[in-house]
């Protein structure tokens, strides 16, 4: 019985449908890794913008940099969230 189950799963992985499902899963995994990297980079950029705002001694520059950091963070969050919903 175990031999039959093993043979059946091997034939599914080499069938066209099994190959397509494998490609879909690999693509989904790559998409999640891409979104993870995008989120990390976006957070780093926002932190850099915030540090520029904190380092500036000019109030308007400081305020603008912190606002830009917030916008960057919100945009990255929205982009990643939408991507995760699409990937599933």
List, for residues 33-82, the tens digit of each pLDDT value. Answer: 999 999 999 999 999 999 999 998 999 999 999 999 999 999 999 999 99
Q: Which two tokens stand for residue 38?
A: 């995008």
Note whether 63 and 53 are within 8 A (CB): yes
Is residue 8 over pLDDT 60?
no
CA-closest candidate to residue 73, choices 38, 37, 43 = 43
Note whether 52 and 29 are within 8 A (CB): no
């Amino acid at each position: 019985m175990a031999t039959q189950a093993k043979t059946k799963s091997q034939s599914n992985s080499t069938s066209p449908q099994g190959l397509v499902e494998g490609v879909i899963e690999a693509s989904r995994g790559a998409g999640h890794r891409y979104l993870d990297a995008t989120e990390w980079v976006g957070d780093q950029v926002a932190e850099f913008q915030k540090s520029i705002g904190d380092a500036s001694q000019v109030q308007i520059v400081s305020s603008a940099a912190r606002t830009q950091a917030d916008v960057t963070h919100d945009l990255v969050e929205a982009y990643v969230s939408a991507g995760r919903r699409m990937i599933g």
